[in-house]
Amino acid sequence: MSRDVDIGRMALIALMGALTFVLTALVRIPIPATTGYVHLGDAAITFTAYAFGPWVALFAGGIGTAMADMLGYPQWAVFSLLIHGAQGLAMGWIVQRRINTLTVILSVSIGAAIVVAGYFAAGTFLVGVGAASGELLPNTLQGISGGVIGVPLYLAVRRAYPPLESRARRAR
């Protein structure tokens, strides 16, 4: 017995993955004395998690950031796939039933914690604990700023385009 392929969900993952890729690759602020950079991809992941749920955010966030890393930071691509995928999954799961102040704070905090812990572990493996420690603050700021930008963006789009809610329910 075969399962039906949800072409709409696949297209949504591709679209949101492309948005994540663009915001990750286009706005790169290198972190001095480390091998990493800060980007706006976390805002796209936050928007995707809130608008379309955990599964779309898992794949779009992971694939989008991994593809961006292939442009100059290929050694990080697998880690970004896993870390940002987990970030999107966790954030989407937390807010999938209700979006309120508590779930927003919780999802942004946990999403940022996943990014910080994940890149610290990956950085320790790739470049050593010293360099990985230098990325703790920038990764924290990136994770939090992703929520600070992504949540209002989601709310504005939802307000401007009410059908987003029905499309989001179908994507979950």
Residue 164: per-residue pLDDT? 79
Residue 3: per-residue pLDDT? 62
Distances (CA, A) of 93 to 22, 53, 164: 24, 7, 18
CA nearest to 88, candidates 116, 67, 108, 66: 108
Across 89-99, average pLDDT: 94
pLDDT score of 2 more than 60: no
Mean of the per-residue pLDDT values of the chain = 91
Class of domain 7-171: mainly alpha
- Residue 87 DSSP SS3: helix
pLDDT digits (tens, 9 = 90+) for 125-161: 999 999 899 889 889 989 999 999 999 999 999 999 8
Q: Is the pTM of this model over 0.95?
A: no
pLDDT score of 83 more than 60: yes
Per domain, the residue ranges of the chain are 7-171
Tell me the sheet residues that pair with 38. 29
156: left (phi over 0), alpha (psi -120 to 50) or beta: alpha
Share of the chain above pLDDT 70, in %: 91
